[in-house]
Amino acid sequence: MTLPQARILVVDDEDSILQFVSYNLKKEGYEVECARNGDEALALFGSRRFDLVILDIMLPGTDGYEVCRRLRARSAVPVLFLSARDTELDKVVGLELGADDYLAKPFGIRELQARVKALLRRAAGSGAASEGHDVVRAAGITLDEDAHEARFGETPIDLTPREFELLACLMRHAGKVLSREHLLREAWGWQYLVETKTVDTHVKRLRDKLAQAGVDPAVVETVRGYGYRIVA
C-alpha cells in the first residue's frame, strides 16, 4: 500500500533515469522532485521536507557519497543509493556512510517500488510489527515497533531506519550475543550478507545516537571475535 503524500527526492544526472523513476513513482501516488547534481539536491533538501532520497553516486560536482554524508549529519531520512557502480566495495562504502539500501543499475521498476515502500514503511512505522514485538524494553530503552519510536525515559532517540532495525534486533535478544552475520541477516536482509565490517560502523553510529539521548553507549557490548549484545 502506498503511503499517501510521501515526498521523494530523486537525484541523478541522467534525464532518462529521472523521467523514468519520477513518472513511475508519481503513478504510485508519491510526490516527486528531481535534482541533477549534488549541490542542487542539498539545496532542495534544505528548503523542504522529504520522506526519502533516491541518490545516484556518480554526480557532477558534489558526488552521491558526499551528499549522503551531509544528509546524515542533519537528518535520519532514508537514503536509497541508485548507481551503475555495483561492486561489493561500492555497496559497503554506501552503507557505511549511512545509506539504508542500494540498488544497482539497470534495475526493474517493480523492485525499485518495492524497496521504496519498504523504506517508507520502516521510517513511518506503518508496517505491521512482528508478533509479540510491538514494544520492546531493555537497558532503560523503550522501542515501539508500530510507531517506529525509540526512547530513553522521555527522551526520543533519533535513528535512521537501519539503526532502528539494528537496535530492535539487539533488544529482541537482550543479553544474548549476536554474531555480525546474524545482525546482517535480521537487520539488513540476506542481500547484504557480504561484508560484516559494515555492522561495526553502524554499531558505532548507534552508540553515538544512544549517548546523545543520555544512554550509556556501553549498553551495546562488543564480544571480541564474535559480535554484539545489549546489556539487559
Which has more pLDDT, 100 or 219?
Answer: 219
CATH topology of domain 135-230: Arc Repressor Mutant, subunit A (1.10.10)
Highest CATH level, class, for 7-124: alpha beta
Mean per-residue pLDDT for 72-86?
85
Mean per-residue pLDDT for 31-55?
95
> Which pLDDT tens digit goes with each residue over 142-185?
998 777 789 998 899 988 888 888 999 999 899 999 998 888 87
Q: Considering the entire predicted model, what is its pTM?
A: 0.62
CA dist 216 and 63 (Å) reads: 35
Question: Nine-digit cell at 9?
Answer: 527526492
Q: What is the pLDDT of residue 126?
A: 42
H helices present in 37-189, as ranges: 38-47, 64-74, 88-96, 109-124, 161-172, 180-183
CA dist 34 and 52 (Å) reads: 12
Q: What is the pLDDT of residue 4?
A: 52
What angle is formed at CA 119 by the lines to CA 102 and CA 37, rounded to 5 degrees? Answer: 55
> Which pLDDT tens digit goes with each residue over 109-150?
888 998 898 888 877 764 443 444 468 888 899 998 777 789
Mean per-residue pLDDT for 54-64?
93
Each domain of the chain, given as residue ranges in start order, spans: 7-124, 135-230
